[in-house]
Amino acid sequence: MFAFDNSYARLPAHFFEPTMPADVAAPRLIRFNAALAAELGLTLDAEDEERLAALFSGNALPDGAEPLAMAYSGHQFGQFNPQLGDGRAILIGEVVDREGRRRDIQLKGAGQTPFSRRGDGRAALGPVLREYIVSEAMFRLGIPTTRALAAVSTGEAVMRETPLPGAVFTRVAASHIRIGTFQFFAARGDNDGVKALADHVIARHYPELQGVSNPYLALLNGVAARQAALIARWMSVGFIHGVMNTDNMTVSGETIDFGPCAFLDEYDPKKVFSSIDRRGRYAYGNQPGIGQWNLARLAETLLPLLDGSEEQAVTDANAVLVTFGRIFQEQWLAGFRAKLGLPSEQDGDLELINDLLAQMAESQADFTVAFRALGGLAGGRGEGEFTALFTDRPRLDDWLARWRERAGEGRTPAERQAAMQAVNPAVIPRNHRIEEVIEAGLSGDFEPFDRMMAALDKPYEALPEFAAYLVPPKPEERVSLTFCGT
Ligand code: AMP
Ligand code: MG
């Protein structure tokens, strides 16, 4: 039923703790991602909700599962914590999917593990629904991400500030190996551990690097390139991760850990939603800098494995950090050129993009609506929808004149619009809508959840039946804080 092949379980014993999921009282299936299950080659009867609820709550284990909790460390808000690890997540095993890609299947909220510290090992329904929605939305947007396979309610309460309904989330990832996983071994002076992990990661995520010279430097470069590209994609859709701790950054280049994440409504580079991020460390505009900071932490763990003298190793690792900045800048520029519909590369592009963003910030223009309206304008729609978002009309007109000169090059309006709307989403999982879904879910109504998932299925199309998902929140609907997934 699950064709497990558990490579992580074959790594040295101190990489993880074998841990069984705890039984829950009354598992009930909320949602099952049958399309993803098919992609993974799982043979499951989507009609047999009782069986699915048992499997995806941890009450029943499929044959061949080798449940374990992974060890890791991490810098949390800049402070190093040597002992984190899966405190409420259990990897049940790995499968090789239909395309030959190895994928982890993990239950989140499945009970305590040796890494739980004082935590209860549980997850509340709200954060489970949020992660389900946002991770699948990221996938539909075409951004590398972990996926949602199932959500199950447990019939048990979890104690937070108040008792909340409990749930288990089943996550699928290329792997759950984080920068913090490398830090776990490095912090213990266990260079053999770092090396075994690095070899595993190269074989699993960067097979093209097997046998190259200075392979661990190449690995660092590979992670840098993927993280830089990933964060550039986040920026292009207004995504704020919210907790870019080093234990929440994968080495595969997938987005992971959708805790207090959110999408921008009005454009503001300083925007923070997370209730625990009081100093704005993980604000929207800080994300590339933090990505580079995190990569420096990975580089430190790999230094002893790099070729040449210690001095040479430091020089080489620093060069990778510079490369990260360059790749990010290139990818960001390419992403925003496409959003503005600039068909070629020219010297003034950065200024043109930044001038628009500055005006959007000043006018508090909705990020998603503004780019979508610009796409409409490029296709010959009236200006009103776009210009109405801005407060300084003469300045905007000056910008529009410059933009028209560039965006008009060699394409019909219809072609221009099609190209722009293919990168400017109409539907994003807006915070106020997620809150609505969660609130309904807390009273047992999952219809808004299903409707929102349907709306997010084709994010680059503004379908009339999902018109309600296109609009920014009214002042009274605005959600300014999101709470951590714990
Ligand atoms: P996160 O904020 O989800 O990235 O988690 C940070 C760390 O806290 C990880 O080591 C988690 O496993 C752990 N953790 C979070 N919530 C819980 C919980 N309810 N019980 C036990 N450990 C938890
Ligand atoms: Mg985490």
Q: What residues are labeled active site? A: 247
Q: Position 293: which residue type?
A: W
Query: Which two tokens mark 158?
Result: 């979890």
In a domain, 402, yes or no: no
In a domain, 113, yes or no: yes
Domain count, the chain: 2
- pLDDT computed for residue 246 by the predictor: 98
- pLDDT computed for residue 436 by the predictor: 97
Does one domain contain both 163 and 188? Answer: no
CA-closest candidate to residue 227, choices 132, 136, 332: 332
In a domain, 483, yes or no: no
Ligand 1 closest atom vs CA 85: 10
Instruction: List the Cα angle 21/26/29 in 5-degree steps.
Output: 85
- Give the integer Cα–Cα distance in Å for 439 and 259: 17
- Residue span of the structural domain in which 120 resides: 8-176
Does one domain contain both 166 and 30? Answer: yes
HSE, side-chain direction, 13 A CA sphere, residue 190: 16
Which residues have CB under 6 Å of ligand 1?
A: 84-88, 116, 119-122, 243, 248, 257, 259, 484-486
How many other CB atoms are found less than 10 A from the CB of residue 323?
A: 16
Question: What residue owns the CA closest to ligand 1's atom 7?
Answer: 84
Residue with tokens 């309206």: 373
As a 3-state breakdown, the chain gives helix, strand, coil percent values, each rounded to 5, of: 45, 15, 40
Q: State whether the Cα torsion 35-39-45-50 is positive or negative.
A: negative
Ligand 1 closest atom vs CA 86: 12
- Give the integer Cα–Cα distance in Å for 179 and 161: 31
Does one domain contain both 193 and 253? Answer: yes
Does one domain contain both 212 and 330? Answer: yes
In a domain, 450, yes or no: no
Question: What residue owns the CA closest to ligand 1's atom 15?
Answer: 486
In a domain, 241, yes or no: yes
Q: Mean pLDDT for each 10-residue chunk of the chain (486 residues)?
A: 96 98 98 98 96 98 98 98 98 98 98 97 98 98 98 97 96 98 98 98 98 98 98 98 98 96 97 92 98 98 98 98 98 98 95 98 98 96 95 98 91 95 98 97 97 98 97 91 66
Does one domain contain both 170 and 240? Answer: no
- pLDDT computed for residue 410 by the predictor: 85
Class of residue 94 by CB neighbours under 10 A (exposed 0-12, middle 13-18, buried 19+) = buried
Does one domain contain both 171 and 191? Answer: no
Does one domain contain both 207 and 299? Answer: yes
353-369 b/e with 16+ CB inside 10 Å = b? bebbbebbbebebbbbb
Ligand 1 closest atom vs CA 89: 12
Question: What residue owns the CA closest to ligand 1's atom 12?
Answer: 87
- pLDDT computed for residue 481 by the predictor: 82
Cα-to-centroid distance, 66 and ligand 2 (Å)? 21
Cα-to-centroid distance, 100 and ligand 2 (Å)? 27
DSSP result, 264-328: -SB--TT---BTT-TT-TT-GGGHHHHHHHHHHHHHHHHGGGSSS-HHHHHHHHHHHHHHHHHHH
- Give the integer Cα–Cα distance in Å for 42 and 209: 30
- Give the integer Cα–Cα distance in Å for 235 and 230: 9
Does one domain contain both 26 and 104? Answer: yes
Question: What residue owns the CA closest to ligand 1's atom 23?
Answer: 87
State the DSSP H helix or E strand holding residue 147, giving kind and residue range, or none if neither.
strand 147-159
- Give the integer Cα–Cα distance in Å for 181 and 302: 12
Query: Which two tokens mark 130?
Result: 């949020």
Q: What is the pTM of this model?
A: 0.98
Residue with tokens 């959110």: 262
Does one domain contain both 135 and 187? Answer: no
Query: Which two tokens mark 191?
Result: 């260079």
Say if residues 51 and 60 touch (Cβ distance below 8 Å): yes
Does one domain contain both 171 and 237? Answer: no
- pLDDT computed for residue 377 by the predictor: 97
CA distances from 274 to 40, 198, 267, 280, 479 (A): 33, 32, 16, 9, 11
In a domain, 399, yes or no: no
In a domain, 398, yes or no: no
Among 303, 320, 338, residue at a domain's last position: 338
Say if residues 469 and 452 touch (Cβ distance below 8 Å): yes
DSSP result, 439-454: HHHHTT--HHHHHHHH
Query: Which two tokens mark 240?
Result: 């704020």
- pLDDT computed for residue 484 by the predictor: 59
- Give the integer Cα–Cα distance in Å for 226 and 156: 39
HSE, side-chain direction, 13 A CA sphere, residue 62: 24
- pLDDT computed for residue 409 by the predictor: 81
Does one domain contain both 213 and 332? Answer: yes
Among 176, 202, 218, residue at a domain's last position: 176
Strands 74-76 and 79-81, by their bridges, are antiparallel
Does one domain contain both 279 and 154? Answer: no
- Residue to probe by mutation, ligand 1, list 88, 120, 250, 257, most atoms within 8 Å of CB: 88
In a domain, 109, yes or no: yes
Among 151, 176, 201, residue at a domain's last position: 176
